Amino acid sequence: MTKIISPDEAKQNSSFKSALTELLYQLADDDFILAYRGSEWLGLAPHIEEDVAFSSINQDTMGHAAIFYQLLEELGEGDMDVLAHSRPPKERLNAVLLEMVNGTGTYLENPKFDWAYTVVRHYFYTAAKKIKMDSLKNSTYQPLADAAARVSIELFYHMMHWRTWFQQLMLAGGEARTRMEKAIFQVMDEMEGVITLGPKGQEIIKFALIEHDKTLKDRWQAVLSPVFTSVNSIMPESMGMKSGNGRNGEHTADLESALAIMNEVYILDPAANW
Amino acid sequence: MDSTVSYGLLAEDEKHALFIKRIEAGEKIEADDWMPEEYRKTLIKLISMHGISEIMGALPEKEWVPKAPSLKRKLGIMAKVQDEMGHGQLLLRVSEDLMKPYGKNRESIMQDLFSGDLKFHNVFHMEAPTWADAGLIGWLVDGAAIITQTNMLDASYGPYARALKRICAEEVFHAQHGESIIMALAEGTPKQRVMLQESLNRWWEALLMFFGPGDAGTTGTSKQDITIKYKIRTKTNEELRQDFFTKYIPRVLSLGLILPDSTMHFDKEAGKWIYKQPDWGKFKDIIKNKGPKSEERLRLRRISYETNEWVREALGSASAGERR
Amino acid sequence: MAKGFYEEYEVFSRRSDTAPMLYQFSLLAPNEELALIMAQENFMRREPASDIWVVKRSNIRKMTLEEKETLKRLDNKDYRNTKGYGYLKKKWRQYEQGMLDEKEIMSWGGNQS
């Protein structure tokens, strides 16, 4: 398929545009909600130096969400802030894994956040995101290919950061190992939801916007498998979507409460300049 | 060692005289240099309080990080609060090196915070219930911090001066981040303007207190004389407060905000601002962790510290991490 | 009490491939791998870095206050630099030649970037 080089060109082919926007919502919503979950950790990380480093990753990720929302805005989907803040849960296409709370309590009260879960979730997600970005560099929608090339620049650091934490906590043994293994199963239970391209997957693949999700999944396993070996462990074979498929608009109460918090100021007056 | 000043051979008073000579000459004292006990203790107290205040100061603002009303604001406030944590990191490193001879480290600082032995700045015990507070903290609280911190940029203790240089450079961004939020509210809807004025009213007294009491007579203790003696800073609390007024009052008024103190004015003859003193008794209580949010914020920090203890335990033991 | 978690590392970085390594600041980390992944974001959030070193502080030999006395020198060493040979400019002019000064010589590398 020939490359579509501009939003105007994309708008002329309604089935192409529909597949494209579907994929863009997935990418934008994934990064947006995970950056939000990450930002809840601010000031609460296990170590001050790590708090600072982690915050940069969250800022990068929120910045990536903004890049994808911007592409949607250019396609006539509306203002990027409206897209990020105003869409109800059933219109959100992020993977359920990424909306899940960091632990018990909230970021304001009793935040008993789980660092093991955070390390595993971020590491596994980042690996999947990197694979998607690499595939998207050949996307038939040129603005998306360009965006993917830009986004992937920052993922080298994210990968190194989370891989280091993953390997060290796995190798630490004892309580850390137990917590990490538990987190791995929790994350794998939902990991399929990150990789799947959802109900319009066939269209997305047909238009060569990105490669087949089966291919992406194989690559993900090929990246992670040796890391598991390096920490004397074996990667669980199966992954699932235990709490639903976010690409279908299926979500948990965790997303609702997150949206209520992130919109608290915005909805006071959506028309105002803040 | 064959040397003109072999510290090992000098008597205490000679060391002291040489130390004073060095700071009088504008030399910088480094962590491993000989220094009077009083100097070390004053620095530890000042810098660990400064450092932990940055860490505790992240908490009122972080309440607003997830709630910031646009993508741009979310990114801006994330970066700003991250800097506060970063400033805490720089300052705690400086004070940790100073307290090393006493066998203390990061862990001790946290324990001292939880026990109430280590105080944090009065402003960070206060409530920040609206988005306008997020802006006001950036604009005026950081503005006040810039005034006190730039006053110590040439501090006789080298590591502190260097940390402050990094910090002040970033504070310029903080001030503008705050101004941008304030400006949007000041030029916004009537509701937004009310939000802003209420925030100024709420923070006024805490801002006056920010610089500390004018003299020891007000609260019983004051470290300002010692810090001036050792060339850690140059100006008194009151001088700094007056500088703050001179820089910020005209700006507050230009935005159409009303000063919460109707008696406030500039006395041309005396060359200073006349204002109603805050309740210094209240100030004493606040810094004893009896402020409106003291307990809650300490609790938040304690919970996060305890919840993550396993991470530090796991990697702190010899078997973890790089195996040599 | 997690004592080994708080090891001191010194962080160095260079702004570009041709810039010298500069000292940045110190951080606490349990080992050098973690020190390395925290270094850039703690100290170089707003400046470029093309390389970073982390060094365990205990591996650095620092100078004592007395040893710093050894760094002082007399101001009589013009012969070590071009300042002591400034008269050559006038001399070469007599021979109708330009002076090969630092600016001239450093330009001979051409447009290498």
The answer to pTM > 0.80 is yes
Beta strands in chain B (DSSP E): 265-267, 272-274
What is the rounded average pLDDT of the residues C29-56? Answer: 97
Asked if residue B202 lies in contact with residue B60, where contact means CB atoms within 8 angstroms, the answer is: no
Name the closest residue on chain B to residue C27, using Cα atoms.
Answer: B93
- Residues 6 or more apart whose CB falls under 8 angstroms from that of A249 comprise A89, A90, A91, A92, A93
Residues of C in contact with B309 (CB under 8 A): 2
Name the closest residue on chain A to residue C46, using Cα atoms.
Answer: A56
Please report how the helices A14-39 and A253-262 are oriented relative to each other, as an axis angle in degrees rounded to 10.
80
Residues of C in contact with A160 (CB under 8 A): 37
pLDDT of B322: 46
What is the rounded average pLDDT of the residues A108-137? Answer: 97
Q: Taking CB atoms and an 8 Å cut-off, how many pairs form between chains A and B?
A: 155
Task: Looking at the complex, report in whole angstroms how far the Cα of residue B177 sits from the nearest Cα belonging to chain C.
Answer: 15
Walk me through the domains of chain B, giving residue ranges and CATH numbers. Answer: 27-208+228-304 (1.20.1260.10)
Nearest to A52 among C29, C33, C41 (CB): C41
Q: Cα–Cα distance between B200 and B203 in angstroms, integer?
A: 5
- Answer whether residue B324 shows pLDDT above 50: no
Give B28's pLDDT tier (boundaries 50, 70, 90): very high
For A153-190, what is each residue's pLDDT tens digit? 999 999 999 999 999 999 999 999 999 999 999 999 99
**For C25, phi and psi rounded to 5 degrees?**
-170, -175
pLDDT of B8: 74
- Residues 6 or more apart whose CB falls under 8 angstroms from that of B3 comprise C66, C67, C69
Asked if residue A172 lies in contact with residue B317, where contact means CB atoms within 8 angstroms, the answer is: yes
Q: CATH 3.10.20.520 residue ranges in chain C?
A: 3-59
For B243-282, what is each residue's pLDDT tens digit? 999 999 999 999 999 999 999 999 999 999 999 999 999 9
- Answer whether residue A51 shows pLDDT above 90: yes
> Nearest-CA neighbor of A139 among A191, A184, A77, A204?
A204
Q: Cα–Cα distance between A87 and A196 in angstroms, integer?
A: 21
> Nearest-CA neighbor of A106 among A239, A264, A254?
A254
Q: Do A115 and B191 touch (CB under 8 A)?
A: no
> Nearest-CA neighbor of B180 among B265, B72, B262?
B72
Sign for the CA dihedral angle at B309, B310, B316, B317 comes to positive
Asked if residue A90 lies in contact with residue A101, where contact means CB atoms within 8 angstroms, the answer is: no
**What's the CATH number of domain A7-268, 1.20.1260.10, 3.30.9.10, 3.20.20.70, 1.10.357.10?**
1.20.1260.10
CATH topology classification for C3-59: Ubiquitin-like (UB roll) (3.10.20)
Nearest to B63 among A51, A66, A108 (CB): A108
Asked if residue B68 lies in contact with residue A263, where contact means CB atoms within 8 angstroms, the answer is: no
> Contact partners of C by the rule of 3+ C-beta pairs under 8 A?
A, B
pLDDT of B1: 40
pLDDT of C65: 86
Say what percent of chain B tops pLDDT 90. Answer: 90
Q: Cα–Cα distance between C105 and B53 in angstroms, integer?
A: 54
CA distances from A64 to A31, A76, A153, B11, B15 (A): 7, 19, 11, 62, 57
In chain B, count of helices (H) and strands (E)?
14, 2
Q: Do A56 and C45 touch (CB under 8 A)?
A: yes
Nearest to C37 among A48, A55, A161 (CB): A161
- Answer whether residue B9 shows pLDDT above 90: no
For B138-186, what is each residue's pLDDT tens digit? 999 999 999 999 999 999 999 999 999 999 999 999 999 999 999 999 9
Domain residues of chain A, as ranges? 7-268
Residue with tokens 């194989």: A218
Best to test chain B binding among C64, C67, C70, C71 (most B CBs inside 10 Å): C64
Asked if residue A201 lies in contact with residue A134, where contact means CB atoms within 8 angstroms, the answer is: no
Q: Indicate the SS3 state at residue A102.
A: coil
From chain A residues 4-43, the ones with a CB under 8 A of any chain B CB are 36, 39-40, 42-43
Residues of A in contact with C28 (CB under 8 A): 47-49
